Each structure stands twice: as structure tokens, then as C-alpha cells.
Amino acid sequence: MAELTSNQLRVRLVTPERVLFDQAAETVELPSKSGYLEVLYGHAPLVAELGAGDVNIRGAAIAEAGGESEIRYNVSWGFVEVLPDRVTILASDAMKPEEIDVRRAEQQLDHGLTLWKQAGESVEAYDEALRIISEAEAKIASAAEKG
């Protein structure tokens, strides 16, 4: 991995299948379950559960060379550990915005909405439906932002 200059974070994005990203960067924006949070160098140690949304990595070494200042991944569910000089994201699922299959996400959204309507009194079914809906919505939003 690239040498860390001062006040850079080492960012790693790990999915159950493989390590997707392992580089130095300046800031990371994370979709925690209770809202987005942004991490800079020197952040207090933190562990959080992730929801569905976009991870934005700014000032990464490779992105600078490519002229792009921002790397974005759509992640759904997972955990993150923040240390002053290191961020490790454990995502259940992560992909680049351009890899998102919008049609499938829309189908997922419809499916989620039907579940939501059928949920009735059951809290579990309700949560499950909300989970599916938020995941689909995050995917669609992330894909739309790119295009």
C-alpha cells in the first residue's frame, strides 16, 4: 500500500468475498445506521453499524492520479471501526455505483413495498421490509447520482 503521509487515513473496505479497497485517503464518509458520519485523521476510536448507503473516500492516492478526487462505493449493511489513523469498513455487500443493476434494485423496491403492505402487526416483518426498501432506495439513489 502507498506510504502514509501525515494526516492521512488508511482506509480498508472488506467484504465477505474479498478486500475491495486498501489505500491511504484523506476523508471517508460513512452511512452509519443512525446517519452519515465523516471521518478525518485523528478521529476518536469508534465502532458503528452501517446501514445502506454510499461510502465516499476522498483524496485517495489512486484517485488523484486518475484525476478523480472521490471514490464511491455503495454498501449495504456492515460494521466500521475507526481509529485515529485507520478506518476499516466491513460491508456485507459493496459495489461501485456503475455496477448497480437499477432494474433489479427497482424490483427489490417493489418487493419491499409489497412486504411492507403485508406486514400488518408483525414488527419483524415490518423491519425486514424497511430493510429491503432502504437498501433498494440507496442503490437507486447511488446509481442515479453517477448518471
> Judged by CB under 8 A, does residue 46 bind another protein?
yes
> Judged by CB under 8 A, does residue 126 bind another protein?
no
Closer by beta carbon to another protein, 42 or else 68: 42
* Amino acid sitting at position 118: Q
> Judged by CB under 8 A, does residue 130 bind another protein?
no
Least distance to another protein, CB of residue 147, Å: 25
Return the DSSP state at 2.
Answer: P
Least distance to another protein, CB of residue 78, Å: 8
How far from 64 is each of 9, 13, 19, 20, 38, CA to CA, in Å? Answer: 15, 19, 21, 18, 20
How far from 80 is each of 15, 51, 70, 106, 137, CA to CA, in Å? Answer: 12, 11, 19, 27, 21
Pairing of strands 27-32, 46-58: antiparallel
Closer by beta carbon to another protein, 71 or else 80: 80
Least distance to another protein, CB of residue 1, Å: 11
Residues 67-86 that bind another protein (CB under 8 A): 79, 81, 83
